[in-house]
A and B are shown apart, each in its own frame.
Chain A
Amino acid sequence: MVSTNSKAGHRGYIASRPVRGVQMPQRVQNLVVRDYASRAGLEYRLSAVEYAMPACYMMLEAVLAELEQLDGVILFSLYMLPRNPSRRKAIYQHVLDNDASLHSALEQTVLRYEADVSRFEELILLDAWMPKAHLGGYWHKTRI
Chain B
Amino acid sequence: MKELFGSFLHPDEMALARQYMQDGYVIRDVEDTGSLDHLEDIIRTSVCSHLDTPSSRSGPDLLWRIHEYVTPDRLNDLRLRVIHDLNDAEHSLQSFYKCAASCLSTIVGNELAAQRSFALSIQMPDDDSSLLPAHSDVWSEDSPFEVVLWLPFVDCTGTMSMFLLPPSQTAWAHEQMVALQNEGVESFYGKISDLVVRPEVRRGQFMIFNHSLVHGNRVNVEGASRWSLNGRFKSLFSPYAEKRLGDYFVPITTRPATRLGMSYRLPDGFDE
Contacts and interface: CB of A to CB of B under 8 A. Distances in A.
Contacts of B138: 141
A123 B246 contact: yes
A57 interface: no
Contacts of A126: 236, 245, 251, 254, 262
A106, A122, A135, A139 pick with most chain B CB within 10 angstroms: A139
A19 to B, nearest CB: 10
Contact of B143 (A77, A122, A139): A139
A108 interface: yes
B239 A139 contact: yes
B89 interface: no
A76 to B, nearest CB: 11
B227 to A, nearest CB: 25
Interface in B213-268: 236-241, 244-247, 250-251, 254, 259, 262-263
Contact of B241 (A108, A125, A127, A138): A138
Contacts of A60: none
Nearest to B141: A141
A137 B246 contact: no
Specify the main secondary structure of chain A where it touches its partner: helix
Residue of B116, B138, B245, B263 most packed against chain A (CB within 10 A): B245
A129 B257 CA distance: 14
A123 B245 contact: yes
B144 interface: yes
Contacts of B263: 125
A137 B244 CA distance: 10
Contacts of A68: none
A139 B238 CA distance: 9
Interface residues of A, number: 23
Given A139-B143, A139-B144, A139-B145, A107 B239 contact: no
Contacts of A122: 251, 254, 259
A135 B234 CA distance: 15
Interface residues of B, number: 21
A5 B262 CA distance: 40
A54 interface: no
B245 A134 contact: no
Contacts of B237: 129-130, 133-134, 137
A125 B143 contact: no
Contact of A79 (B144, B246, B262): B246
Contacts of A123: 245-246, 250-251
A141 B241 contact: yes
A129 B262 contact: yes
B223 to A, nearest CB: 37
B239 A136 contact: yes
B147 to A, nearest CB: 14
A122 to B, nearest CB: 6
A116 to B, nearest CB: 14
A20 interface: yes
B80 to A, nearest CB: 13
A78 interface: yes
A134 B239 contact: yes
B247 A137 contact: no
Nearest to A106: B247
Interface of A: 20, 77-79, 106-108, 122-123, 125-130, 133-139, 141
24 contacts: A20-B246, A79-B246, A106-B246, A106-B247, A107-B246, A108-B247, A123-B246, A123-B250, A125-B262, A129-B237, A130-B245, A133-B237, A133-B239, A134-B237, A134-B238, A134-B239, A135-B239, A136-B239, A137-B237, A137-B240, A138-B239, A139-B239, A139-B240, A141-B138
